[in-house]
Amino acid sequence: MPQTSVVKLLEDNRIWFGKSGNNVPRIKTFLSEVADAGIVPTTIWKFTEVGHNQEARQEFKALFDGAGYFDGPKPVRLLEHILTLGSNKDSIIIDFFSGSATTAHAAMQLNAEDGGNRKFIMVQLPEETVEKSEAFKASYKNISEIGKERIRRAGKKILEEHPELTGKLDIGFRVLKVDTTNIQ
């Protein structure tokens, strides 16, 4: 990089030398410059920023009155972070392994927070729940039924937390079923 370019970047406060001021210099990228393209990702996502499995289980249980039908749901904050990086306010988000529908929950939550209009497509095979499981005993015969219920409950919860968005925030969804499959 020519010396004049470096001087210009220094004058514009666009070079960062780390917290202590003596690290390898880096060029700053401002959110306002990449808002339409997403945020430049960092390489480490700390649990303090994106949550952890225990948090995800507690989020799920809170929606389902203490029932823990899923062993490994993802934290809503993790999916929100991913959506912030990889989508814009009008994106269509597709999750081909929807599971408990955390992605739908995160998309609706992010729309509530930033005024977005993200849509989502959740795909989940109707994998049967185990007969001895809490989910089966609660009449959820397959995973996709749990996901649909989570979307309903998450939408209701978001509107309870943001009553000013009632009638403005889209929390509706449609369900389409595959008629036949070649999966054994």
Can you give the residue range of the structural domain that contains 142?
A: 47-165
pLDDT at 123 over 80: yes
Residue 180 lies in a domain: no
At 49-67, the pLDDT tens digits run 999 999 999 999 999 999 9
Residue 22 lies in a domain: yes
Question: What pLDDT is attached to residue 37?
Answer: 64
Question: What pLDDT is attached to residue 36?
Answer: 64
Residue 179 lies in a domain: no
- 127 and 161 co-located in one domain: yes
Question: What pLDDT is attached to residue 35?
Answer: 62
| Residue 135 and residue 146 in contact, taking contact as beta carbons nearer than 8 Å | yes
Q: How confident is the model at residue 41 (pLDDT cuts 50, 70, 90)?
A: low
Domain count, the chain: 2
- 78 and 108 co-located in one domain: yes
H-type helices in the chain, by residue range?
3-11, 31-34, 47-50, 53-63, 76-86, 102-114, 134-137, 143-161
Residue 26 lies in a domain: yes
- 14 and 59 co-located in one domain: no
Residue 76 lies in a domain: yes
At 129-163, the pLDDT tens digits run 999 999 999 999 999 999 999 999 999 999 999 99
- 25 and 61 co-located in one domain: no
